[in-house]
Structure 1
Amino acid sequence: MRAINHRSVKLGIATFVTVALFCISISHTVEAQNSTLFNPTDSFIISDQNSSIRFATNGSYSSATLQDGTWLFKDLTLYNSTRSNDLKISASNSNVLIYTYSASSPYSQFSRFAIIIFSVEGLGTQEFNLCLNNSQPTHPSEWGVVLPDGTFLAEGKNWQLSTDDTILISGLTGNVTLVHYGFDASEKGDLPFYEEHSVALVTLAVVAITIIISSIINYKVQRSQYGH
């Protein structure tokens, strides 16, 4: 009787594992079927604004639509990113090449952290909305626009933040890093001292990481341009 019970338990576990693996396989298959793949040769043209958007790596999206001069990518996943994110991007009189785009989980402590690194050809304008899905507009102090040499540009110096969290960049060429640091500036003043201090430390760490990543991207781009 005991042997029969053991066999029943083993059979139940095996059945459960088989069903679970089958469900995961179906889920991945459906996700793959619903995704459109792209590669660095694909261009997303904005003909009315004399602009184009490209990605430096392979990737996928569930949908890509152009409306009123803005591309909206749903569930955008790049080869060098582990998470899919939505992205709204527009450009005028310029071509944009995106190297990386990543955002933290919406369930993490710093749920609104996001970073996008790109290069610009042409002295035009670019608009980025990282689709943070905030309950209220962000503050300019939560954002950073960083040049390859580590220079942080203040709002009003080549970039502006709109009320819908769209960043408008103008007059920049070459490599640029746009980052949202993932804390709410409006809440900082209500925190106890040690919590304010911890936020500052995290911010400084993220700033340092941003500079390092931007420098690495710039270095790799320069090597590829000169064929080394």
Structure 2
Amino acid sequence: MIATLSGKVLYKTTDRAVIDVGGVGYETIVTTDAIARMPEKNEQVFLFIHTNVREDAITLYGFLEEEEKELFLILKTVSGIGPKLALSILSGLKVADICQAISAGDIKRLTTLPGVGKRTAERICVDLKEKVGHLAYGGGAVGITAPVTLQGGSEVSDALSALSNLGYPDSVAQSALSAVKKQVGDEEFAKLKVEDLIRLALRSLA
């Protein structure tokens, strides 16, 4: 799974850029803000990458800052928000501003973001209010100890470690496993093996 790309900008459009890495061109979908800030053709660029794997396609989403990637993945844990809407939200405001609005429950401000209606804004606040505080004031990613909120013993710890090795920030990995627990219930969650936890978590992030 591709986690970062470092290479030259081959070309860019309104919503994507092709990066030449060792003679191979990687098409990455990016925010409109990233396009505006990205270096010009043939200049060097470094992108944090989320690789989205589906049955019919493999899509790369690129971010100039790690915090953008983290918030993108956190947003995707909310029911009804896919990669396209998550990227659209990131195009509307800076990461810190979005997270401050979420933490404050500022529905009005969130509904100014592209594709976000009142119901979606409310869902974002309810689901993410306690998960984005470290990004609201430029604090960056922080480690989260899964057993405190998820329990489940070594299987959960191993699953979190595996997701981290795949490039997911700790907070995103925990959010994904929390979504799995909510979906299957406490009793079934406690019975899941590591490989099942990883598979279901990745499905929730797809």
**TM-score (normalizing by structure 1):** 0.25
Higher relative contact order (CA 8 A, sep 6+): 2
Q: Over alpha carbons, which structure has the higher Rg?
A: 1
Q: TM-score, normalised by structure 2?
A: 0.27
